[in-house]
A and B are shown apart, each in its own frame.
Chain A
């Protein structure tokens, strides 16, 4: 519908900020901050009739006063002024709009709805894709475009996960969780009121047009035409894993229906079935969304359900083993060749079969990584959970692990590592391992096992 326009919207070569401001209590200030401090490396044109410069950049009284072409307009002016500005956007041949302004159909009253209809009409007339209204914007981490009112999103690690959310609040929740969990993201966006860019348009774009996106995560509250989304995914020319978190699950019996089926049909139950039918993997918490997306992005696909647990401490290894079994996977039984190799690496003072207690190798990151390598080549193992918890005495193992890992080949099977340490200890060391060579770091053994089970299920679904 929009041809190349969505590409220009998400990767613009110039941006106008309508309603840009130098005062902290205006959203126009924060949008400017996001672009400037987020290292946007193309021209920014602040638009505000009352200022000569904003954020130290030359400002223009109106959009039509900008003597250069503009790809993207970010609009943060009051709702009533938006129709006129959109007309100007159309005349200036702007490729896309982020409409942060709220106060449309989401509020009570006729006026908001009428304004939104007007916006829809203008957008249709000029064929301009609009993100919003009532959105925090979007962040393109691949190209350093932070077209949102929260600069801190620019601190998220660059990676392959794209989040398309119905809610801006959820983007903030997940964006900051992503930082905490070192998850790399390509884009994140909130659709807001979805004037003409809705889930199907966004999903299609990120699946087919955006190379940097490798995993798509959706946060859905409710949409009017869910089948349109499923068709978009099903008909996409490229396939990428899609995971979804569906909110609004409380079941309301449909009193209008006189039949049993009707009264048993809570809308969420249908969603659940529909997501599975459309091969969209459903997650049930924000953490699960992050863990699953991260592992999908970083790790190799999982070809079977046999898992090896390698732990520097026995207890957490047993927890991982329990979690593996309860999530439908099994502990692998090493081949004779693998077992012999492990027996050479570890003295017979600890359990050397799966789950392997690597305790005796506490001071030897070389040995630990050699065991990891040997097990990753085991013909009876499909994935590995690898655990090292900090203790004062093993301070240096992660540092040296990072260094040795650098010289190793990427793992062809998923490796999920649980590293835990107090804040300020191992931070940099874990950064150096997480996301490298197919190793994803997840906080706890239970979450690691769940993420691996999800990876297995999603890997098996691929046609």
Chain B
């Protein structure tokens, strides 16, 4: 048997493991959604949080860049409506109100390969993931040299050193990848993990995460 950690549960798990995640809170009413959004500060993103929906975008379960209370309230109602009309309202845990991510988008994955065992994937995130396939893999665990080489192998790393790009410290990404490696070393029951996207600016913050955990 395996279980999935999705939505708020996944972000919460990673936060407890010492990772930075975008500030996220769950709302179960329009009122709380509005007040949480005010606390976090506009703009915000609203996303469905469900233990059964693995691919949120397929359900169109994300509303990004909402700039005021009115937009938050109407987005909240739209997202709840998706579950209402499909008769799946019990599967909805609530709506995540999340701060807006800043910087470059990356994707980090962990996956159990039949021959290599646990491998880590690191790549350029965002809407061009499929088209550009700017990604690289390593068997886990990785060391500092591996992490550095992974970053340098991506085409997007040329942007990191470009003078027009606001300073992104590659060492920070190295440490982040090593932290992922350590997480898997300590938690071998994580079969798969998908951090997509991860925002990198002067900080690294995980925006969305899914984990598949084997039990026993």
Residues of A within 8 A of B (CB): 222-227, 230, 257-262, 264-265, 267, 269-270, 272-274, 276-277
Contact = CB atoms under 8 A, between A and B. Distances in A.
User: What DSSP secondary structure best describes chain B's contact surface?
Assistant: strand
Given A257-B192, A260-B129, 5 more contacts: A226-B115, A226-B116, A264-B123, A270-B113, A277-B142
Contacts of A262: 109, 111, 192
B183 interface: no
B212 interface: yes
User: What DSSP secondary structure best describes chain A's contact surface?
Assistant: helix
Interface in B99-147: 107, 109-111, 113, 115-117, 119, 121, 123, 129, 133, 135-139, 142, 146
A370 B175 CA distance: 52
A274 B196 contact: no
B8 interface: no
Given A226-B116, A259-B212, A277 B146 contact: yes
Nearest to A262: B111
Contacts of A222: 115
Contact of A261 (B109, B139, B142, B146): B109
B58 to A, nearest CB: 12
B202 interface: no
B194 interface: yes
B67 to A, nearest CB: 29
B150 interface: yes
A227 to B, nearest CB: 7
Q: Which 5 pairs between the two chains have the least Cβ-Cβ distance?
A: A261-B109, A273-B137, A261-B111, A273-B138, A270-B137
B9 to A, nearest CB: 16
A261 B113 contact: no
B91 interface: no
A361 B7 CA distance: 74
Contacts of A227: 116-117, 139
A270 B110 CA distance: 12
Interface of B: 54, 107, 109-111, 113, 115-117, 119, 121, 123, 129, 133, 135-139, 142, 146, 149-150, 192-194, 196, 210, 212
Contacts of A257: 111, 192
A273 B136 contact: yes
B139 A270 contact: yes
Nearest to A268: B137
A265 B111 contact: yes
A259 B139 contact: no
Given A259-B212, A265-B121, A277 B109 contact: no
Contacts of B123: 264
A264 to B, nearest CB: 6
Nearest to A279: B145
A261 B54 contact: no
Contacts of B142: 277
Given A227-B139, A259-B192, A265 B113 contact: yes
A264 B109 contact: yes
Contacts of A259: 54, 109, 111, 192, 194, 210, 212
18 contacts: A223-B115, A225-B115, A227-B139, A259-B192, A260-B107, A260-B129, A260-B196, A261-B110, A262-B111, A264-B109, A265-B121, A265-B137, A267-B115, A270-B113, A272-B136, A273-B136, A273-B139, A277-B139
Given A259-B194, A261-B192, A264-B121, A273 B113 contact: no
Given A259-B210, A260-B107, A276 B192 contact: no
Contact of A274 (B110, B121, B138): B138
A269 B133 CA distance: 11
A270 B109 contact: no
Contacts of A258: 54, 212
A276 B149 contact: yes
A249 B18 CA distance: 37
B164 to A, nearest CB: 23
A267 B116 CA distance: 9
B91 to A, nearest CB: 17
Contacts of A267: 113, 115
A260 B135 contact: no
A368 B99 CA distance: 69
A261 B212 contact: no
A223, A225, A264, A265, most chain B CB atoms within 10 A: A264
A223 B116 CA distance: 10
A460 to B, nearest CB: 12
Contacts of A276: 138, 146, 149
A276 B137 CA distance: 10
B133 A264 contact: yes
Nearest to B54: A258
Nearest to B111: A261
Nearest to B115: A226
A378 B95 CA distance: 69
A224 B115 CA distance: 6
B107, B116, B129, B212, most chain A CB atoms within 10 A: B116
A272 B137 contact: yes
A429 B106 CA distance: 56
Contacts of A261: 109-111, 121, 192-194
Contacts of A226: 115-116
B138 A269 contact: no
Nearest to A256: B114
Contacts of B193: 261
A286 B214 CA distance: 43
Nearest to B113: A270
Contacts of B135: 264, 269
A270 B192 contact: no
Contacts of B146: 276-277
B8 to A, nearest CB: 18
A277 B144 CA distance: 11
A223 B138 CA distance: 17
Contacts of A224: 115
Contacts of A270: 113, 116, 119, 137, 139
A215 to B, nearest CB: 23
A265 B194 contact: no
Nearest to B142: A277
Contacts of A230: 139
